[in-house]
Structure 1
């Protein structure tokens, strides 16, 4: 088990807090997917993936259907996806993925969080190179063997395959998402959830007191409704 496993284990210790916030973020993903590829999951692979994630998060079916219907309405505005980069205290690099219908508000909020927590909001490209952009799939373990699956998936872009208590995990490069998704669907392998993560290529050890300084910023960012994901290089 490699970096992806260790990263995932650490991330699981700090999931989204409130269920309502999780549903809000999935709702935005649905809008983005529908606006990009239409409301039919049979022809919109991105929407299929979001619906799988919604099911994994126990989002009620009625909520999913309402979100798709609302996204199909021409009056529904789109969400702009923006990546922010910066440094938390003690030299910890931070990447913030946002989806917003008011970019000015989001920029102002993110900048204020960095400033109030003694961090610095950087320019595009300032820390992104410190992270590996990956895709991931959580599969049903039924009938699957991790070693056999890894050998089978090497040609499709898989870089790491391992089993945990939640299912069979497959990690690959960001650009390999569509190829892997197609393979699983064509071979009737059940996808429980999928997504993208940014795994730090190097991490930095901090003292407990220093970690508290960094966590103040991370918590403010994660509580913002416009923020979808936060990644950092703190060990």
Structure 2
């Protein structure tokens, strides 16, 4: 029975992982379709679509899925998605920006507000927290793809504003309207990036204690699980010892 129980646990975890992957691909597909509808269906001519395709590739989304999402935009699909941004606060006074794509504003509004209120947060009005963030372009490469000095020099030449290299990745920041141009310049020198997207970068960070961090993770997980939520940004900083205690 123990072996059978272990097998069931493994299958349960696999099912959960498969569902999360399916939900992620659905969100990526939605962004690709919306981006293709708003501009040309050619990634080379449409910066937002190019960024969406790169994000999908970074998550190992199959090429056929990517192409179907683009084709959906040009095939007379009657689904129309609206972009809605929510601003709110989480535990410890953390500021959160939640970007959604929805075909039902009322549903999304109810869901997002309920998730905040049930997980120690609250939603504010437009401009409540965005003043504490910079809207920038973010281009990433894996840390082992290139030496930090090489990335810095390439970023400087391509017109980037800043580079932050760590043991995990190289983060290259640009002006929001220069993202596409800088990404192409970097690609010529460093190859295709891991990701290229618009990003809300916090200007000041809020350090959280263990209990606050635990509550925040629940809030962010609940938001991520909502089909209409595309991305969640925050200004939280969680010390390494707290992350270890939480097993994150």
Q: Which of 154, 160, 165 pairs up with 1:162?
A: 165
Partner of residue 42, structure 2: 40
Residues 210 and 56 of structure 1: is their aligned pair in 2 closer, same or farther, counting only changes over 3 Å? Answer: closer
* Stretch of structure 1 that moved more, 195-204 or 222-231: 195-204
Q: Which of 233, 236, 248 matches 1:234?
A: 236
**Secondary structure of residue in 2 paired with 1:191:** coil
Between structure 1 and structure 2, the one with the greater Rg is: 2
- Separation (CA, whole Å) in 2 of partners of 1:105 and 1:195: 27
Alignment of 1:38-187 (within 5 A): 38-139=40-141, 145-154=147-156, 156-162=159-165, 164-165=167-168, 168-185=170-187
Q: CA deviation at 1:127?
A: 0.7
Shift of 1:178: 2.3
8 A contact 2:86–2:123 mirrored in 1: yes
Q: What is the match of residue 197 of structure 2?
A: 195
Equivalent pair of 1:147/1:161 in contact (CA under 8 Å): no
Q: Matched residues in 1 for 2:125 and 2:178: separation? A: 27
| CA contact 1:160–1:172 (8 Å) conserved in 2 | no
CA separation in 1, counterparts of 2:145 and 2:204?
Answer: 35
Unaligned runs of 5+ in 1: 1-16
- Alpha-carbon displacement from aligned partner over 1:103-134 (angstroms, at most 9, x marks no partner): 11111111111222242210100111112222
TM-score (normalised: structure 1): 0.80
Distance 1:160 1:141 in 2: 12
TM-score (norm 2): 0.76
Cα RMSD between the aligned structures? Answer: 2.6
Does the CA-based 8 Å contact 2:88-2:129 persist in structure 1? yes
Label 1:110 to 1:119 Cα distance change in 2 as closer, same or farther (>3 A): same
